[in-house]
Amino acid sequence: MIVGLGISALCAFGALIALLGVVAMALPGRPQPWPVHLMRRGSWLAAAAAASIYVLGLFAVLTSEHEFNNGADSVPAPACREGFDPDTVQHLSHHRSSYLPLRFDCVLDDGTAYSSDPNYAWMNWTALLLALSGALLAIGAGYVTELRARKRALIH
C-alpha cells in the first residue's frame, strides 16, 4: 500500500507540475502560439491526474487481493467483511477482482454480488474522463499545429 501511495503521489506531483505549466500560460511572456501550448500542457495535466487516480485505485484492489488468504482471519476477504452486515457476510462464497475497470466484488452464495468499496466507481469514471480529455486535447493540439502549417504553406 505504501508503494501505491508513493506512485500515486508521484503522479499527483506530475499533475501539479503540469498545472503550473497551464497556469503559466496566463502570465506575460508565454510561448507562441499559446493555444497549442495550452492544449499540450492541459493534455499532460489530464494524463497525470488520470494516472494518479487510477494507480490509487489499482493499489487499493491489490491490497484487498493481498489481504485475502494471507494469515489468520483472512477468509473471506477482509474487504468484503469490514463494514458490512454480519448476515450478509455469513453468506459470502468468494470474491472477484478486476484491474480494468477497478473493482473488488464480493459474491454471495446465491450468486449476487456487491462492491466492497463504492469508491471504485468514481475512480473508474474520473480516470476514464481525464484520460479521454487528455487524448482529445493532444489530438486538438496536433490538429491546430497541422492547420497552421497548411495555412503557412498556402501563403508561401
**Looking at residues 116-144, what average pLDDT do you find?**
93
> For 17-65, how does the pLDDT look when each residue is reduced to its tens digit (9 = 90+)?
888 888 887 777 777 777 888 888 889 989 999 999 999 999 989 888 8
Predicted confidence at residue 138, as pLDDT, reads 95
Predicted confidence at residue 50, as pLDDT, reads 94
Give residue limits of the domains in the chain.
Answer: 2-155
Fill in the amino acid letter for 16. L
Chain centre to alpha carbon of residue 138:
18
Helices (H), 25-100: 34-67, 78-81, 86-90
Residue 111 pLDDT exceeds 90 = no
The rounded percent of the chain whose pLDDT value lies above 70 is: 96
pTM of this prediction?
0.81
- Angle, nearest 10°, between helix axes 2-24 and 34-67? 170
CA atoms of 13 and 20, how far apart (whole Å): 11
